[in-house]
Structure 1
Amino acid sequence: MRTLRTGNTHTFKIEPDHVGGRTQTATFPKEQVVSPPANKKKKKTASDHYLLIGFDTEYQVIDPVDAPAVRAGEAEAKNEVLSYQFCVKRISKNDEKGSPHKHSGIIIPEEGERIAIEDFIAFAIGAWSKAFPNETIPTNIYLVGHFTRADLPAFAEFQDSVRNWTSNIRNTFISVDHHMTLTVAFDAESETVFLVKLRDTMLLAPSNAKSLNHLGEIVGYQKLRLHDDPDEELRIKENMRELIATDWPQFRDYALRDAEVCVEYAERLIRQHAELFDKFELPITLTAFGQPLVLAGWKSAGLSETQVLGREAIKSRRFIKKLGHYRTDIEQPYLDRVHWEEAFVTETYHGGRNEQFMFGIAPEGDWRDLDLSSAYTTAMSMIGLPGWSKLEIFDDLASIRFTDLAFASVYFEFPDHIRFPTLPVRTQYGIVFPRKGLSNCGAPELWLARQLGAKLKLRRGIRVPVNHDVPIFKTFIQDCIKRRGQSPKGTFDNLFWKEVGNSTYGKTAQGLRKKRVYNLSQDEMQELPECKLTQPFFASFTTSYTRAVLGELLNSLPKEAQVFSVTTDGFLTTATDTHLTKALGKPLAQSFRTARIELVGDDNVVETKHAILQPIGWRTRGSATLKPGPADTNNIVLQKGGIKTSELMEGERENRHIVELFFNRTPDQKLVYTVGIGIKDMVRHDTDFVSRSVEKYLRMEFDWKRRPIDVRDEQVDFAGKTYRHLSFDTVPLEEV
């Protein structure tokens, strides 16, 4: 916990000198402050009233820094802070419509100076109370920014304060276990203590709407553009000092918008949280909604989380020296039988299938990018209640059904005619799908391999019987889909429920593959821990089933139906509707269809995401479009394969840039681009969020997950030029 003190009166400049240099003094009377009743015996609960303070900064960026020089103390990494913005709004649990009393403001610091965060908060509160003298001031505050990693360092004494009251999640600053206590002194004898918690709307945004512009659209704020030309807008954003000098009104409007969006979006989430859990508070991440909803659903169905997850509750009593007494904790380790097999099942857990089947210039045709409809959530809906106590070893692969919660290690060999072998083999370069080898996988893929005529030799297999009459995720997923469908696409409720449903799969896999992350408070790298829903049996089945459905579809297409690539839950193909109808009649696709009908009432197994006339590709997740499809469709397919482009480069312009990189690349060509300096360097070396230069080889060659055949030289006209390039098809590798 960080304790800060400040006075009750603050004076700051609210416009630059060249337009008058006007100042404002903000003082709020102590009689407006309403503190919660003191009750030390009462457990900490959410407040019914908050001040939401959205905040943002504008700064003139410096040239990219040399990270080693910063670490050695040879270079300072500080931007020029131009302004601080705030938007303050009081919200109450009982006021469903929300208070109309919202006040925004801006502070212009003296040249070369920075203001303290405690003075900024006190000034913002004072400015709001002056605007609304009849409103009471709650002492519980949410300080809300968007990508706080960029804005928090703009305050004075950043390095000292950040360690004491913030944590880091996904490379940004928030408060988790700690908070800021801000004491505002009215006079020598009276003061008020405010509790300040930091939140970041980037962690609360849907995965496909991370930008502040997207969040603004969700809450009814249109995007403010600084210029119609994207290149000029990027130049202006990189030279905000120039904008403040030439067009102060535009700078001010643009600067204030971010703080306003943060407040409105945060309020929507607080009210959503109160509606769902009767807790009037702002969670840390959007995924925090899904986990408790799943657990609550199990409880209402008469199921305990230990029963579903194969765990047991064990009480442990230990002496806490700091507290001076014993404390009883409840731990939930796996049951013995589950624990013994946990490591084995984790080895059968793999990610999505990602492969490039054609390199270079593909033939022209009617190419469609087809995705399985809500693949992971549909797969999860098929998991029944496990009978963990009856976990068994099996020795007969013929007895395995694709709906079983079963896992095995097998030697395999597919017939020569199989175009797309379906058993994954993990390598240091990711998973590959060779014709023969050793695979650790789940029941859906084992079943499919047998249907495709593969020879299998079982090394080891385990199975947990399940009661499919008691699906453990289905009700939750149905509820998310129902709620999502009640609102138009792009609205808050639609995007919220889509994200809550889709993100739950990730929680079942959290911590299975060891991942080290930086812990700010400990200043060290630590392994990402498991969460309450982590369960390798569920995660492995979900991904195995999705890969199996895709594998069945791919191998059911005739040879004349070309397949360009596959990415997690979709593939780019020239398959016609007739081809697809036949492929979708196979058992796995039919089970997927049945699950979709039960979930949403329609039988769409696949949906068309994009339609193009000619693709070009180089490696896994590396492809672009040579000839777009019809103008009234999503007519460009673009996967950059790790290549960084400008944040303002999008659509046809970005696609053209990537294609021209491919055709014009040279041996050992390097790209020089900038990325934000890491959060560890920021904390250790007291830097702002500055850019550092990165030099990286341009990797647009094939990744050898399959073997080239039919090597040829192809020619194509693109953007007014004629290009020739090596191109080829592929067949499976014989073995790793």
Structure 2
Amino acid sequence: MSTKKNPAGLGGGSWEIERSGSDDSLPFGVKKTHLSIVSDVEDTDWTTRLVDVSLGNPDIKNTSLFSVLIRRVERGNVGWVSETHPTDSSEQGSEAAGQVIRTLSGQNPLWESRLAGLKGQPTCDPAGAAVPAFGDLATVRSMGTGQRTHVIGFDTEFTYVSETERVIDSYQFCCLDPTDEDVRIDVVILPLQQQRILVEDALYIVVRAAYLHRLVEDLHPRGVARRDFWKNGDYKGALDALFKHRVPLVLAGHYLPADLTAFARPARQRRGGEKYNDLLRRVTSASGGLVGLNPIRVVRRGGRSDGSRWMPMSVIVRDTMGQVAPGQKTLAALGKSCGVEKIDVGESISDMSTLRRDHLVEFLEYGANDSVIVLEYLGALWGLNTVPPVTISGGGARALRDGVMDYWGIDSPADFRMRFQGLVELSTAQAEGNDGDDGLSYYAVRDLAPVDGDANQTHTAWKKAFHGGWNACIAPGYHPYPTYDHDIQSAYPSAMASIYDVDYVGGAIDKVIKDRELTLDDFDHGPITPMVAYASWEFPDDTVAPCLPVRSGDSVIYPLTSHGCGAAQGDEVDGYRGFEGAWCAGPELYLALQLGAQVTVQIGYTMRVMDAPDGNEDGSRSLRSALRQMVADRAIAKEVFGKGSLEEQTIKVGTNSCYGKLAQDVAERNGWDAWEEQMESIGGSAVTSPYHASMTTSLVRALLLAVANEIEILSVTTDGFITAVEEIESLECFGIAEVFRNARLALADDPTVWEVKHKQDDLVNLSTRGNVALSAGGVLAKAGLKTPKA
């Protein structure tokens, strides 16, 4: 590792919060510890400062002393490591299999190269067309934000002194030099009195150490003079004036529930009761981490009265837990992908306080390295000093939205919300007198409301008809004969690509079905007719797999009849118990009629289908167009960077998460509120739609339930099943298979619906998602069971 020395002194001369290590007024223990730190790093790249963040800060009454260590490092051989992962023997022998590509001096093939320098990778396709860089793919452009700012990698080290109490040993940060992205600046803050530091003080130190303030026009290193922005009696106006000079930052860590809670908690409150400078008030849980949905204003105050200076910082919080594919969520995996190997300190990991005291240099290298992994990984994935999306799945939702908007030829998010989701901003709805909705959490949390009465009624109906996948162990026991584990190829994207768009502009309800039996004539578009109904039913007694779902506690059951298990249960009143039925979606209602069921609808709606923008289709299918682009971009990434590469995995995760984003908070879902220390509704995503979500999952269930009525199946899990029947592609599934064939053809130019994931000569069917075979390559689903570690 090489360093760049700054002749003027790292951090830009003396700081107003700095104290001399030889000051006799320092507490003896603090002085001794700091001087020991200075001695330990004397022959290293680190320079030290002793700071007292209470100096000039009216919010801190007592001394608050920290040792700050800073170094400048040539980034060198850092960048994206693109690996192909062979999956069978034929790939093992390929020239590309297992190759590792490492770029030089901060470049990375995702965003900066034209692939010409990537050994073994093509620069054009077989037809001679140029292959775009990863960052040039439409999906990746949409997933990313493209916004430039200072990205700070962040981590902490701590030691538990009891089951619930920990000592913070260090706060470590790193960022790029704002004028030279080949240079990284590492900052480590060491508490000297086992105290915690306020987030504004820590970020202020990083800003000063890395000169991040100097790219803000006319910003003094200590911030803005209070007299230049303060307006008597206008607190909001003063803050608005102050934040015109803000230092924009991204504070990024890995698993921030551990690290973001290491900062001191401020006692001061702003006017209006808002908590002062506390990031935990403004973050929410996502993908196992903590993220900020919007920039957070953080101010560091120094000095008193008009002579004081305030440093305004706008902080975006990101967690790399949400920036990586499932199964790759360890910091070591992130480091491997970007060329920064995670350091192992062995058993010292459980007692970092001792490691810091006895082996400070090793401690510093370990701690700083973790923050470097975060910084370099995000730079490799989204571009150096670029604001990452909230999560990869959030980026996928953004790409889906952009694809829908491109299909319709619109560029307004407000138009998208109205056309796709049937929602408008709450202020608009109130102005139009539409304030009587039921406040479903998925839109209420986002201050949105249904566009009109039709939307209000049907949002509620589709929400009630929404259920998850069909999962069942139909034939438990030992099956000593050949069986096959079939999966629907790209089940949820294929179902999403089949669904028509509802025309919410001018009233979404086309027909109302009231107090009558349902017939196949009600399905103008076959199994993908946009219908939702509160229905009761009777299947023939010999029906193998009834297909209309009823929620029972946390489970979903499929009874032959709704009588006795429908939604209206309770005591009879004057001989009437109520209409014993359930809310069901079109695909399963269609299949029920095909299976011979008698279905009676108390109230139901058929939605009005939107016209296709080009007039060439029988109705608008915006999701098909959007997903086609994402599937094509994933194929390019797979071809250029290799199957299983993180480039391909990034688009795969973004694409596969689109269904989850359509369904986000339709079935109410809570996240952890770190400030209130309680669960709260997470609200919907940018594309949440009860209609699209309910139709999608109903269509997937309907295909599996149709198969179960044509052949014997042993077990089923969400998008696949196990059976003794090998050839199933020819099954018509009462017309539902054709829907999937058309979608597969549109998305992947291949009408094949099914693929065999496993085949085995024997099978033990233990439970739902519990399937075990002894055959090599056979199914192994553990039902959540884990073997104990030695």
Measured against the shorter chain, the TM-score band is 0.5 to 0.7
Q: State the alpha-carbon separation in 1 of the partners of residues 732 and 342 from structure 2.
A: 42
How far does residue 404 in structure 1 lie from its aligned partner after superposition?
0.7
In structure 2, relative to structure 1, the CA distance for the partners of 1:189 and 1:524 (3 Å cut) is closer
SS of equivalent residue, structure 1 residue 470 = coil
Over residues 70-107 of structure 1, what are the superposed CA-to-partner deviations in whole Å (9 max), with x where a residue is unaligned? xxxxxxx3213333322212469xxxxx9221133544
In structure 2, relative to structure 1, the CA distance for the partners of 1:291 and 1:20 (3 Å cut) is closer
SS of equivalent residue, structure 1 residue 436 = coil
SS of equivalent residue, structure 1 residue 423 = coil
How far does residue 55 in structure 1 lie from its aligned partner after superposition?
1.1
Q: State the alpha-carbon separation in 2 of the partners of residues 587 and 435 from structure 1.
A: 22
In structure 2, relative to structure 1, the CA distance for the partners of 1:460 and 1:292 (3 Å cut) is same
SS of equivalent residue, structure 2 residue 527 = coil
SS of equivalent residue, structure 2 residue 181 = coil
Q: State the alpha-carbon separation in 2 of the partners of residues 499 and 220 from structure 1.
A: 22
What is the match of residue 540 of structure 1? Answer: 694
What is the match of residue 719 of structure 2? Answer: 569
In structure 2, relative to structure 1, the CA distance for the partners of 1:264 and 1:18 (3 Å cut) is closer
8 Å contact from structure 1 (residues 312, 335) kept in 2 = no
Q: State the alpha-carbon separation in 2 of the partners of residues 110 and 84 from structure 1.
A: 12
In structure 2, relative to structure 1, the CA distance for the partners of 1:47 and 1:354 (3 Å cut) is closer
What is the match of residue 537 of structure 2? Answer: 412
Q: State the alpha-carbon separation in 1 of the partners of residues 298 and 759 from structure 2.
A: 55
What is the match of residue 476 of structure 1? Answer: 626
8 Å contact from structure 2 (residues 153, 174) kept in 1 = yes
| Match among 54, 60, 63 for residue 153 of structure 2 | 54
| Match among 283, 295, 299 for residue 167 of structure 1 | 283
8 Å contact from structure 2 (residues 703, 733) kept in 1 = no
Structure 2: stretches of 5+ with no match in the other structure: 1-14, 22-29, 51-67, 69-144, 222-245, 269-276, 433-445, 563-580, 612-617
SS of equivalent residue, structure 1 residue 55 = strand
8 Å contact from structure 1 (residues 218, 490) kept in 2 = no
Q: State the alpha-carbon separation in 2 of the partners of residues 47 and 342 from structure 1.
A: 34
Alignment of 1:71-220 (within 5 A): 77-90=164-177, 99-110=181-192, 112-128=194-210, 139-157=247-265, 161-162=277-278, 166-170=282-286, 172-177=289-294, 179-183=296-300, 193-220=312-339
Q: 2:594 is aligned with what amino acid?
A: Q
8 Å contact from structure 1 (residues 236, 243) kept in 2 = yes
SS of equivalent residue, structure 2 residue 316 = strand
Alignment root-mean-square deviation, CA = 4.3
Q: 2:157 is aligned with what amino acid?
A: E
SS of equivalent residue, structure 2 residue 334 = helix
8 Å contact from structure 2 (residues 332, 342) kept in 1 = yes
How far does residue 505 in structure 1 lie from its aligned partner after superposition?
2.2
Structure 1: stretches of 5+ with no match in the other structure: 1-5, 29-45, 65-76, 93-97, 227-232, 275-279, 319-328, 644-653, 661-736
- Is 1:588 the counterpart of 2:736? The answer is yes
8 Å contact from structure 2 (residues 485, 723) kept in 1 = no
What is the match of residue 783 of structure 2? Answer: 639
Over residues 332-383 of structure 1, what are the superposed CA-to-partner deviations in whole Å (9 max), with x where a residue is unaligned? 5233223233323322111111222244x53344454433222122111112
SS of equivalent residue, structure 2 residue 156 = strand
Q: State the alpha-carbon separation in 2 of the partners of residues 143 and 584 from structure 1.
A: 53
Over residues 20-75 of structure 1, what are the superposed CA-to-partner deviations in whole Å (9 max), with x where a residue is unaligned? 365732599xxxxxxxxxxxxxxxxx9975322111112223554xxxxxxxxxxx
How far does residue 431 in structure 1 lie from its aligned partner after superposition?
0.6
| Match among 373, 376, 379 for residue 495 of structure 2 | 379
Identity across matched positions, percent: 24
8 Å contact from structure 1 (residues 51, 90) kept in 2 = no
* Count of residues paired in the alignment: 571
How far does residue 428 in structure 1 lie from its aligned partner after superposition?
1.0
Q: 1:450 is aligned with what amino acid?
A: L
In structure 2, relative to structure 1, the CA distance for the partners of 1:24 and 1:547 (3 Å cut) is same
Greater gyration radius: 2
What is the match of residue 41 of structure 1? Answer: none
Alignment of 1:168-567 (within 5 A): 168-170=284-286, 172-177=289-294, 179-183=296-300, 193-222=312-341, 237-240=349-352, 252-268=364-380, 270-271=382-383, 281-300=387-406, 301-302=408-409, 304-305=415-416, 306-311=418-423, 314=428, 333-359=450-476, 361-388=477-504, 389=507, 391-394=510-513, 396-399=518-521, 400=523, 401-437=526-562, 438-466=581-609, 467=611, 468-487=618-637, 488-520=642-674, 526-557=680-711, 559=712, 562-563=713-714, 565-567=715-717
Q: 2:689 is aligned with what amino acid?
A: Q
How far does residue 18 in structure 1 lie from its aligned partner after superposition?
13
Query: Given the two structures, how large is their TM-score scaled by the length of structure 1?
Result: 0.67
Query: Given the two structures, how large is their TM-score scaled by the length of structure 2?
Result: 0.62
Q: State the alpha-carbon separation in 1 of the partners of residues 158 and 254 from structure 2.
A: 15
8 Å contact from structure 1 (residues 510, 531) kept in 2 = yes
Q: 2:388 is aligned with what amino acid?
A: L
Larger mean CA deviation between 423-432 and 114-123 belongs to 114-123
How far does residue 198 in structure 1 lie from its aligned partner after superposition?
2.5
In structure 2, relative to structure 1, the CA distance for the partners of 1:332 and 1:433 (3 Å cut) is closer
By percentage of residues, which structure has more strand?
A: 1
